[in-house]
Chain A
Amino acid sequence: MLDAGRSSLGSVSARSVLGWVYRFILFPIGQMLVFIVGAALVLTLLSYLLALLFPEPRPNISLMTQVNRQLPGMIVSGITIGFVYAMIALGYTLVYGVLKFINFAHSEIFMFGSVVGFEVMQRLAEGGNLPGWSPVLLVAFVVLAAMLASGLLAVLIERVAYRPLRGAPRLVPLISAIGVSFFMIDVVRAFQAITRNDFNLTYPLNNLEWIRNPVKLAIGEATVNIRPTQFIVVLGAVVTLIALNYFVNGTKLGRGIRAVSQDMATAGLMGINVNRMISLTFFVGGAFGGAAGALFGMNVGTVTPFVGFIPGIKAFTAAVLGGIGNITGALLGGLTLGLIESFLNGLLVYFPVLGQRYTDVFAFSVLILILIFRPSGLLGERVDEKV
């Protein structure tokens, strides 16, 4: 009896460990893999279909050859930017889930993260000890610094610009958010003007060999150069996304956030400190924006105080596409949008009348199409009274 009880207890705990691993590590990774493979497969099939429809070479190679050559490149760049969108989209979606309003200042929190990442690396480089750092430690340090700074900034913005307007009509905090956005751009602009007299903030990556040498990958006709920074973006995004999934679904604080997002008043009656939970939500969302900013900055090399606008809008779109308020939806939306964009960029060059400048037109047409059939996004649940 006792033995049986012990053994069953042991097996329960072993099963629960396995369950934990499945729930918080294997399942999210599997989910990401399914999203990536699914979206990439659909888009690849569509590209080849298009290539069959337009067989004539233009100007020197056919669309078929072009697709063959750039397919791996398109997928890699789509995944990279897709993860960046997904990480920013999480910030929109978390805040929306709790407060039911769009934090339009989030694009500037992303920008702030990229600028902080630059400042940290630049300070280290000016100290002359940048090459001495181990790559993993350096990236982790820069990203964590950006996360902390952006998270705190998001909490501050919530405290100053949104909390006093909690009871106000929906449009009021929206306007406040847009105001904060402009304010942040100009603060960073003024700060950089005074301290560096420069607006193009170039990450000091030039003397880091490990970050500059791309990995060459040959697949059939195609060679794709994968930059170490692209690995870093994807790896960093996966790690932080798993951590977020655990935080929201596996911890007491996460349960508090979920409770507040379901019913703020009742959650308050149940003894949850609502204001603290909202601050926490902003911190987590802001930290994700900051991490995305630093990773994005490392990948593209140069950031400016204006860098947040386009990725911010795209990530907002991704959040809506996936179903705003839904964390998995933000991931799916970001990856889908990134891949669609990347494929369009690659294919539209073949059609000189259109060209790459129509990428956004087509990408957003896809968005509208999806929203016609699924008005609350790919994974969104039906809700009636949201902005």
Chain B
Amino acid sequence: MQFKRSVFFLFVVVLALSVPLVGAQDAQVIKIASQSPLSGPQSVLGTSIRNAVELAIEQLSGPLTEMGYSVEFVPFDDQATPDVGVANANLLVNDAAIMAVIGHLNSGVAIPSSEVYNDNNLVMVSPANTNIAITDRGLPVVNRICGRDDTQGAAGAAFAASLEGVESVYVLHDTTAYGQGVADFFQKAAAEEGLTVLGFEGTTETANFEGVIQPILALDPDLIYFGGIYSQTGIFINQARAAGYEGLYMGPDGFDSSEFAELAGDAGVNTYYTTVAAPPTFYPAAAQFIEDYTAKFGEPPQPFAAQAYDSTGIVLAAIQSVLESGEELTREAVAAAVRATENYEGMTGTYTFDDNGDPELATYVILQVGSSDPAEWSNNAVLADFQAPSPLAAAAEATPSS
């Protein structure tokens, strides 16, 4: 009797809960998902990406709302871990209302997750993944609006070689697809630039770098390049300086978070880093975004937030174009429309995707850390910036002239 009553009660509850769900589905819901690390050591960047997507949906979904659609936001936490990212991907492809994914932060997570998206024709636009394998696989659903590690690594090496007194470098990486990838490009380019590469080491250590530092001190390089993310590289330089390392320090866009200043302290000042996502303050058009973001979330946006905003804008514009063309709104149509994006005017640049999903022209910036105060991070000095075409765009340019 007891059992029957509880089953009946459960049935009523399920019925009551399902009423609003059914109602919601009638009102043409379009969902945009984000995947980024919201917990764990890299959550500072990941949460900022999430927030920027939320802000973009709020501000840019006006045209879709007028067409009678309501745009909803579903954030996912990939924990910067490949298997969590893939598990989330398998989960979110089953929600038919999800039309696009903005993410990830980590290339090592994005590569396996995007295979799942590809199997389900779900489009992904990445604000931050720089590994070459992201787009070089030629998947029709995978796009990014940032630069690539081959260009970034080479740009870092060229810059290092141009610094006075730098003749030898020691290259470290974090053994992930991203870190090892960019460190490898740096290493090759550095050798071509005539620098001596004293060592190329991977480490998964996150706390005690003593063992990594000892041989570096013995080899005495002029510059250490660490292909990795701030949660590791900031702690590393702090300990390396305490152990007596006095040379220069450089890294890729993984350094780009105010958390780096927090972790590295005074040891991090004067560190050089290349990035594919200049700080929001670098873009004149992003002033309004910084203001809105700070007002909504109570703290200034981190790097990649502006790119996440633009990625969302591209996706929303693509959905709008599908609806306007009168086609049925399917994932395939959205993916095709995103890939066909031409001259989308975002605040971080004008984006046109090539056949692999790379932006035809990407911006690369070299910065130097100015202060150990995290609040001063967005005022880091921009030492150089340039635009470089994607490999496909460069090849297309080269063909007619030859």
Task: Report the separation of the CA atoms of residues A367 and B388 in the bound assembly, to the nearest whole angstrom.
Answer: 51
Taking CB atoms, residues of chain A closer than 8 Å to B63 are: none
A interface footprint on B369-387 (CB within 8 Å = 1, 0 otherwise): 0001000000000000000
B231 touches A346 (CB 8 A): no
Q: Answer whether A193 and B215 are a contact pair too, CB < 8 Å, given A214-B242, A227-B242.
A: no
Task: Report the separation of the CA atoms of residues A242 and B201 in the bound assembly, to the nearest whole angstrom.
Answer: 39
Q: CB within 8 Å of B: which of A291-320?
A: 296, 299-304, 306-307, 310-311
Task: Report the separation of the CA atoms of residues A349 and B172 in the bound assembly, to the nearest whole angstrom.
Answer: 11
Select the stretch in B50-58, B94-102, B151-159, B203-211 that faces chain A: B203-211
Task: Report the separation of the CA atoms of residues A70 and B212 in the bound assembly, to the nearest whole angstrom.
Answer: 12
Q: Is A202 an interface residue (CB 8 A)?
A: yes
Q: CB within 8 Å of B: which of A55-83?
A: 59-61, 65-66, 69-70, 73-74, 77, 80-81
Cβ distance A4 to chain B, nearest Cβ, rounded Å? 60
Number of interface residues of B (CB under 8 A): 43
Task: Report the separation of the CA atoms of residues A73 and B43 in the bound assembly, to the nearest whole angstrom.
Answer: 35
Taking CB atoms, residues of chain A closer than 8 Å to B73 are: none
Q: CB within 8 Å of A: which of B190-228?
A: 196-212, 214-215, 217-219
B212 touches A345 (CB 8 A): yes
Q: Is A276 an interface residue (CB 8 A)?
A: no
Taking CB atoms, residues of chain A closer than 8 Å to B215 are: 66, 70, 345-346, 349-350, 356
B242 touches A223 (CB 8 A): no
Cβ distance B187 to chain A, nearest Cβ, rounded Å? 11
Cβ distance B180 to chain A, nearest Cβ, rounded Å? 10
Taking CB atoms, residues of chain A closer than 8 Å to B175 are: 357
B218 touches A301 (CB 8 A): no
A359 touches B242 (CB 8 A): no
B244 touches A223 (CB 8 A): yes
A193 touches B39 (CB 8 A): yes
Q: Answer whether A214 and B244 are a contact pair too, CB < 8 Å, given A307-B206, A355-B202.
A: yes
Task: Report the separation of the CA atoms of residues A307 and B210 in the bound assembly, to the nearest whole angstrom.
Answer: 15
Q: Answer whether A225 and B242 are a contact pair too, CB < 8 Å, given A60-B198, A307-B206.
A: yes
Q: Residue on A with the closest CB to B215?
A: A349
A interface footprint on B232-244 (CB within 8 Å = 1, 0 otherwise): 0011001100111
Q: CB within 8 Å of B: which of A38-69?
A: 59-61, 65-66, 69
Q: Answer whether A59 and B239 are a contact pair too, CB < 8 Å, given A199-B40, A359-B211.
A: no
Q: Answer whether A352 and B199 are a contact pair too, CB < 8 Å, given A200-B41, A214-B243, A357-B175.
A: yes
Cβ distance B144 to chain A, nearest Cβ, rounded Å? 26
A225 touches B244 (CB 8 A): yes
Which of A65, A69, A302, A357 makes the CB contact (< 8 A) with B217? A69
Task: Report the separation of the CA atoms of residues A342 and B40 in the bound assembly, to the nearest whole angstrom.
Answer: 28
Q: Answer whether A355 and B244 are a contact pair too, CB < 8 Å, given A301-B238, A346-B211.
A: no
Q: Is A341 an interface residue (CB 8 A)?
A: yes
Taking CB atoms, residues of chain A closer than 8 Å to B243 are: 73, 214, 225, 227
A306 touches B219 (CB 8 A): no
B214 touches A342 (CB 8 A): yes
Q: Is B300 an interface residue (CB 8 A)?
A: no
B202 touches A299 (CB 8 A): no
Which of A65, A199, A216, A359 makes the CB contact (< 8 A) with B41? A199
Taking CB atoms, residues of chain A closer than 8 Å to B40 are: 189, 199, 306
Q: Residue on B with the closest CB to A344?
A: B211
Cβ distance A362 to chain B, nearest Cβ, rounded Å? 12
Q: Is B111 an interface residue (CB 8 A)?
A: no
Q: Answer whether A216 and B211 are a contact pair too, CB < 8 Å, given A60-B198, A199-B40, A200-B262.
A: no
B214 touches A70 (CB 8 A): yes
Q: Residue on A with the closest CB to B202?
A: A357
Q: Is A206 an interface residue (CB 8 A)?
A: yes
Q: Is A163 an interface residue (CB 8 A)?
A: no
Q: Residue on B with the closest CB to A342?
A: B211
Q: Is A15 an interface residue (CB 8 A)?
A: no
Interface centre among A60, A225, A356, by most chain B C-beta atoms within 10 angstroms, is A356
Taking CB atoms, residues of chain B closer than 8 Å to A166 are: none
A212 touches B41 (CB 8 A): no
Q: Residue on B with the closest CB to A303?
A: B207
Q: Residue on A with the closest CB to B211?
A: A345
Taking CB atoms, residues of chain B closer than 8 Å to A357 are: 175, 201-204
Taking CB atoms, residues of chain B closer than 8 Å to A301 are: 235, 238-239, 263
Task: Report the separation of the CA atoms of residues A223 and B217 in the bound assembly, to the nearest whole angstrom.
Answer: 9
Q: Residue on B with the closest CB to A223?
A: B244
A59 touches B242 (CB 8 A): no
Q: Answer whether A77 and B207 are a contact pair too, CB < 8 Å, given A200-B263, A212-B242, A223-B244.
A: no
Q: CB within 8 Å of A: which of B35-90?
A: 39-41, 43-44
Taking CB atoms, residues of chain B closer than 8 Å to A193 are: 39
Taking CB atoms, residues of chain B closer than 8 Å to A214 are: 242-244
B263 touches A346 (CB 8 A): no
Q: Answer whether A349 and B201 are a contact pair too, CB < 8 Å, given A193-B39, A225-B242, A307-B206.
A: yes
Taking CB atoms, residues of chain A closer than 8 Å to B214 are: 70, 73-74, 77, 342, 345-346
Cβ distance A80 to chain B, nearest Cβ, rounded Å? 7
Q: Answer whether A206 and B207 are a contact pair too, CB < 8 Å, given A301-B238, A357-B175.
A: no
Q: CB within 8 Å of B: which of A232-261?
A: none
B218 touches A59 (CB 8 A): no
B interface footprint on A332-360 (CB within 8 Å = 1, 0 otherwise): 00000000011001100110100111010
A199 touches B43 (CB 8 A): yes
Task: Report the separation of the CA atoms of residues A345 and B243 in the bound assembly, to the nearest whole angstrom.
Answer: 16
Using a CB–CB cutoff of 8 Å, the interface residues on chain A facing chain B are: 59-61, 65-66, 69-70, 73-74, 77, 80-81, 189, 193, 198-200, 202, 206, 212, 214, 216, 223-225, 227, 296, 299-304, 306-307, 310-311, 341-342, 345-346, 349-350, 352, 355-357, 359
New contact pairs (9) apart from A296-B207, A306-B41, A349-B215, CB-CB < 8 Å: A69-B217, A77-B211, A81-B210, A200-B41, A200-B235, A223-B244, A310-B206, A342-B210, A346-B215
6 closest Cβ pairs, A-B complex: A345-B211, A225-B244, A70-B218, A77-B210, A349-B215, A69-B218
Using a CB–CB cutoff of 8 Å, the interface residues on chain B facing chain A are: 39-41, 43-44, 168, 175, 196-212, 214-215, 217-219, 231, 234-235, 238-239, 242-244, 259, 262-263, 265-266, 372
- 27 CB contacts below 8 A, A to B, read A66-B219, A70-B214, A70-B215, A73-B218, A77-B211, A81-B208, A81-B210, A193-B39, A200-B262, A206-B265, A212-B242, A216-B244, A225-B244, A296-B208, A301-B238, A301-B239, A302-B207, A302-B238, A304-B206, A310-B206, A311-B208, A341-B211, A345-B215, A346-B214, A346-B215, A355-B200, A357-B204
